[in-house]
Structure 1
Amino acid sequence: MTTGANNEGNLSEPATNLDQKSTPSQLVTALQREHAHWVTEVIEAYGEVTAVVPRLHIVDVCVDLKSGVDTKFDFLADICGADRGVEEEPRFEVNYHLFSTTKHHRLRLKVELHEADAHVPTVTGVWRTANWHERETFDLFGIVFDGHPDLRRILLPDDWQGHALRKDFPLRGYEPYSLK
Structure 2
Amino acid sequence: MNFTDIYLHLTERVGEEAFTQAVADAPQPFLVVVPDRLTEVAELLFRDERLFFDQLSCLTALDNGPEAGASVAGAPVGTMEILYHFNSIPYGHSMVLKVVLARNQEGEPLPEVPTLSHLWRTADWHEREAYDLLGIRFTGHPDLRRILLPTDWQGHPLRRDYVEQDLYHGIKVSYE
* Residue in structure 1 matched with residue 151 of structure 2 by the alignment: 158
How far apart in 1 are the matches of 2:123 and 2:42? 11
TM-score normalised per structure 1: 0.80
Query: Quick check: 29-38 or 92-101, which moved more?
Result: 29-38
* Residue in structure 2 matched with residue 11 of structure 1 by the alignment: none
* Residue in structure 2 matched with residue 113 of structure 1 by the alignment: 101
Change (3 A) 1:145 1:119: same
Displacement of 1:27 in angstroms is 0.6
Find the residue that maps to 1:48 and give its secondary structure. coil
How far apart in 1 are the matches of 2:4 and 2:165? 44
* Residue in structure 2 matched with residue 41 of structure 1 by the alignment: 21
For the pair shown, the structure with the greater C-alpha radius of gyration is 1
Find the residue that maps to 2:153 and give its secondary structure. coil
2:91 is the counterpart of 1:103: yes
CA contact (8 A) 2:23 2:30 kept: yes
CA contact (8 A) 2:135 2:156 kept: yes
Find the residue that maps to 1:150 and give its secondary structure. coil
Displacement of 1:90 in angstroms is 4.7
How far apart in 1 are the matches of 2:100 and 2:131? 15
Q: What runs of 5+ residues in structure 1 fail to find an aligned partner?
A: 1-21
How far apart in 1 are the matches of 2:135 and 2:61? 9
CA contact (8 A) 2:66 2:78 kept: no
Query: Quick check: 129-138 or 84-93, which moved more?
Result: 84-93
CA contact (8 A) 1:90 1:112 kept: no
Find the residue that maps to 1:80 and give its secondary structure. strand
How far apart in 2 are the matches of 1:67 and 1:120? 20
1:25-46: CA deviation from partner (whole Å, max 9, x where unpaired): 3211221233222222111244
* Residue in structure 1 matched with residue 73 of structure 2 by the alignment: none
Q: What runs of 5+ residues in structure 2 fail to find an aligned partner?
A: 68-75, 105-109
* Residue in structure 2 matched with residue 6 of structure 1 by the alignment: none
Point out 4+ residue stretches in structure 1 off by more than 3 angstroms.
none
1:16-64: CA deviation from partner (whole Å, max 9, x where unpaired): xxxxxx2123211221233222222111244422111111111111110
1:64-88: CA deviation from partner (whole Å, max 9, x where unpaired): 0111122111000111211011124
Q: Percent identity?
A: 37
How far apart in 2 are the matches of 1:49 and 1:70? 19
The CA RMSD over aligned residues, in Å, is: 1.9
TM-score normalised per structure 2: 0.82
Mapping of 1:55-134 within 5 angstroms? Answer: 55-87=35-67, 88-116=76-104, 118-134=111-127
Displacement of 1:89 in angstroms is 4.4
